A and B are shown apart, each in its own frame.
Chain A
Amino acid sequence: MKNNATKLMVRLQIALLLLIGLLMTPTWLQAQEFTVSVEIPDIKAAPYHKPYVAIWIETPQRQGVHTLAFWRQQADWFKDLRQWWRKIGRSGSPDYQAVSGATRKPGVYSIHWDGRLGTGSMLPAGDYVLHVESVREQGSREYLRQTFSYPSNKQEQLVLEGKQELGTVTLLIK
């Protein structure tokens, strides 16, 4: 009986320590946010169809983590965003409905993400890969990747240059 009471005390102390540890976690660890800027180049083509674009994050082991943007028209052509389709799209996991929207005309677009996953929890610390894929009907396809670590202990800006179907892509973590 006394033994059990001691065990309970130890457990409570551990729980309290864990709680304090959580509360004392530096706020910058949780507060880093992402801004991805994507340029859809102005391509002179007739007919010109606006590209399907997906921007998402995977683990280095190629597990889909989160989709930041998915600009599309008809579901029949989702498969042409080949890499996004195989890793996220066709299984709907993780869910991307909230970030799905119509295709966009040429221009520079900023996507802001607070690091919160579709499950409601925050992106766990670790290494990740940002993927940007663009495909245009009667046009070409482009696929860019950039590895990054999260959280970063400083503000970080990573820049990718597309060659054809994507212009400059910037990942800002701060």
Chain B
Amino acid sequence: MSVNVKLISRAVVVIASVFAVFTSTAHERFILPSHTLLSGEAPQSITVLASISNDIFHPDRPLGDSGSGRDVGELKEYFANLEYTVIAPDGKVSLDTQWAAYSRMSVADVTLAHEGTYRVGLVQPDVFMTTFVNAEGQPARLWGPSPEIPAGATKVVRRTTASRVETFVTLNSATHQAIAPTGTGVEIVSKTTHPNDLFANETAQFQLLFNGKPLTTNTKVKLIKAGTRHRNDRDEQILDVTKNGDISFTPSQAGFYLLIAETHVDAPDAADIDVKHFSLYLTLEVFPE
């Protein structure tokens, strides 16, 4: 009897943690590259780490696996739907980067065979989620495109969430083709600032796009410096978005930063979905002057 109770409570914990992973307001996620800036005449490799974690750049759970990592249990299906993208300096998209999950993080090697700027990403296409308030008055969620909503449920909202978890890495010349918008989800465009040319006390300026068009409304953009675990104040900086989708910030310190931009759109009346959520988790490295 007590064994059963234990099993059940354990199952509840697992399910709850899976739920938390997928909610639009849930855990942060990031890619942390070993290097963002490289020089040299020969091709070079970098190692990237990815994690779902609220401690910025301290990993907590793995994010991504191409089949060679550990058993990730309930995350397996989610990882199978991720696109493991690397966009080369010439704009060519590769989907064959091999990610391996470990207990607390996922890792991959990315080879920079050519000069220029690469974009390394984990792209999550729409994941279906329905939120509601159950008959007991408690908030609840269900996954999948057509969940069975329990009787007595109220405030039923059918949603999808999609995200891009990305960073940029440059070997020698800083180029722009890999930064060019793909036209899907939330992205940044480099206007005056190249994302691999960020320095403390210099203003960085980017434009936010959603599905290729300036992202101006229904958006929240925040910037968090690395190392939240080692300070008391989380210090999330909320960035203003101009009517052209422009954002700017002037980091006072060097280090890694996570830029998070979220938006949502109401689905057309006839659709099976009420609202679609989109987010960008972009890792940027700032160097000392």
Interface residues of A (CB under 8 A from B): 74-79, 82-83, 85-86, 89-91, 141, 143
Contact = CB atoms under 8 A, between A and B. Distances in A.
Interface residues of B, number: 15
B39 to A, nearest CB: 4
B253 to A, nearest CB: 15
Contacts of B39: 75-79, 85, 89-90
B152 interface: no
A20 B128 CA distance: 79
A75 B197 contact: no
7 contacts: A75-B41, A76-B38, A76-B44, A77-B39, A82-B287, A83-B289, A85-B39
Contacts of B173: 90-91
B40 interface: yes
A76 B40 contact: yes
Interface in B32-47: 37-41, 44
A39 to B, nearest CB: 22
B17 interface: no
A97 B41 CA distance: 14
Contacts of B40: 74-76, 78
Contacts of B48: none
B65 to A, nearest CB: 31
A83 B170 CA distance: 15
B200 to A, nearest CB: 11
Given A76-B44, A85-B39, A91-B173, 11 more contacts: A74-B40, A78-B40, A79-B38, A79-B39, A82-B199, A82-B288, A83-B289, A89-B39, A90-B173, A90-B174, A143-B289
B41 A86 contact: no
Contacts of B170: 90
